[in-house]
Amino acid sequence: MGSYLVRRFLLMALTLFGMSILIFVMLRLVPGDIADILVDAAGIADPKEKAKIAKELGLDRPIIEQYGQWIGGLTRGDLGFAYVSERPAIEEIAPRIPISAKLTLMALFFSVILGVPFGVISAVRQNTTLDYFLRVLSLSGLSLPSFWLGLLVLMASVHWFGTIPIYTNEPRGFLQEVGLLAIPAAVVGFRSSALIMRLTRSSMLEVMRQDYIRTARSKGASNTSVNYDHALRNALLPVVTIIGIEAAFLVGGLIVTETVFNIPGVARFLVEAIRWRDYPIVQNLVMLIAFVVVTVNFLVDMAYMVLDPRIKYAD
């Protein structure tokens, strides 16, 4: 187990290193840089002013040197300066992380709390009206785009309650924050919950046809015990994998939701930074996301051991 963990950590480090090169190179392959955009935003076409900005930001230096400077800074905890705001990148990124993290966790919580029980109910009550209803609900979750659903929620709120649940002021206190993030989290988590529900249902149906379930029933185990102690635990393995993947995908969903609900989180900021070719912001944020994804994958692998004692990671 110990050497397995060491191997995993080394692999994680190697993956992140590969990611850093990929991000760095891909960003520079996109046409236009910050100097182009700053000059373009001012509606001018003066090559001298552009060259001056590029020099000031170090964009005229060899690409290897730029990469070395970034990675060197990263190891020292120095994320560099944001090109657009001209403030330390850490000051720009840090306050936004908790907002998006809370939103992601709430969305994930929402999708699990809805997806798993509904999936189980749907499987247990297969081919009943309730099953059909839940399947239609999950299908709608997969087919409704988040931005459309978000706008619909906002319109309905303005029409019926005369208020709009958008993030215009920093929430005061935990309850206000939960209230403010709950609706966007539900909107972004709806799609994931649908996916989790469908997967839980099919996984449950498969497990419930296994011999050991029949054996448990024949031994007189109650329905609840069979469904939840025997079937669900075994059916959860693929669901956990999907939850792990969805946690990463939720960041993509957040871009739209943060825009519609005007939440000043990381996802919207990342899109804006890409638009401005604000390399220090994009590079560091993508690395952060990569780190989160790699870590979640690792945790999912560890969770397998807890869920299925037969799984052992050999040294």
Partner 1 sequence: MRSRVAFAAGTLAAFMLAAPVFAQKQGGTLKISHRDNPPSASIHEEATISVVQPFMAVFNNLVMFDPTEKTNSPDKIVPDLAESWSYNPDQTKLTFKLRSGVKWHDGKPFSANDVKCTWDALIGKVDEKSDLIRKNPRKIWYSNLKDITVGSDTEVTFVLGRPQPSFLSMLAAGYSPVYACHANGRDMRSKPIGTGPFKVVDFKRNEAVKLVRNPDYWKKGRPYLDAIDWKIVPNRSTRTLGFVAGEFDMTFDSDVTFPMLKDVKAQKPDAVCEARPTNVNTNILINRDAPPFDKPELRRALVLAIDQKPFNDILFEGQALMSAVMLPPPYGLWGMPKEVLETLPGFGSDVAKNRAEARQIMEKLGYTKDKPLKIKVATRNIAIYRDPAVILIDQLKSIYIDAELDPIDTTVWYNKIQRKDYSVGMNLTGGGVDDPDTAFYENFHSASDRNYTAYKNPEIDALIDKQSAELDRDKRKKIVWEIEKKLAEDGARPVINHNVANTCWTPQMKGLVLQHNGIYNGWRFEDVWLDR
Restricting to residues 261-300, which ones interact with partner 1 according to CB under 8 A? 261-262, 264, 268-269, 272, 275, 277
| Structure-token pair, residue 160 | 């019926």
Q: What are 55-59's contacts with CB under 8 Å, separation 24+? A: 57/83, 59/33, 59/34, 59/35
185 binds partner 1 (CB under 8 A): no
- Distance of closest approach, residue 30 Cβ to partner 1, in angstroms: 9
- Give, as ranges, the residues between 68 and 87 that touch partner 1 (CB under 8 A): 84-87
d(CA 142, CA 146): 10
Residue closer to partner 1 (CB basis): 93 or 231 = 93
* Smallest separation (angstroms) from partner 1 to the CB of 83: 11
Q: Go through 166-184 and write b for each residue having 16 or more CB atoms within 10 A of its CB, e for each that does not.
A: bbeeeeeeeeebeebbebb
Q: Alpha helix (H) ranges present in the chain?
A: 2-29, 34-41, 47-56, 63-75, 89-93, 96-124, 129-143, 146-161, 174-208, 211-218, 223-224, 233-260, 266-275, 279-307
If one asks whether residue 41 binds partner 1 (CB under 8 A), the answer comes out as: yes
- Distance of closest approach, residue 149 Cβ to partner 1, in angstroms: 13
| Angstrom distance (rounded) from CA 169 to CA 89 | 23
Comparison of 2 and 162: residue with beta carbon closer to partner 1: 162
Shortest Cβ distance from residue 79 to partner 1 (Å)?
15
User: Out of 12, 15, 19, 36, which residue is the one contacting partner 1 (CB under 8 A)?
Assistant: 36
Picking from 243, 291, 287, 251, the residue whose alpha carbon sits closest to that of residue 271 is: 251
- Check residue 155 for interaction with partner 1 (CB under 8 A): yes
Residue 168 binds partner 1, judged by CB under 8 A: yes
Segment interacting with partner 1, rule: CB under 8 A, options 29-37, 63-71, 133-141, 217-225: 29-37
At residue 263, φ and ψ (nearest 5 deg) are -90, 125
Which residue, 233, 241, 187, is CA-closest to 210?
A: 233
Phi, psi of 64 (to 5 degrees): -65, -40
- Looking at the Cβ atoms of 45 and 64, the one nearer to partner 1 is 45
- Contact string 228-267 vs partner 1 (x = CB under 8 A): -------------------------------xxxx-x---
Residues that bind partner 1 (CB under 8 A): 31-32, 36-46, 49, 52-53, 56, 84-87, 92, 96, 151, 154-155, 157-159, 162-164, 166, 168, 259-262, 264, 268-269, 272, 275, 277
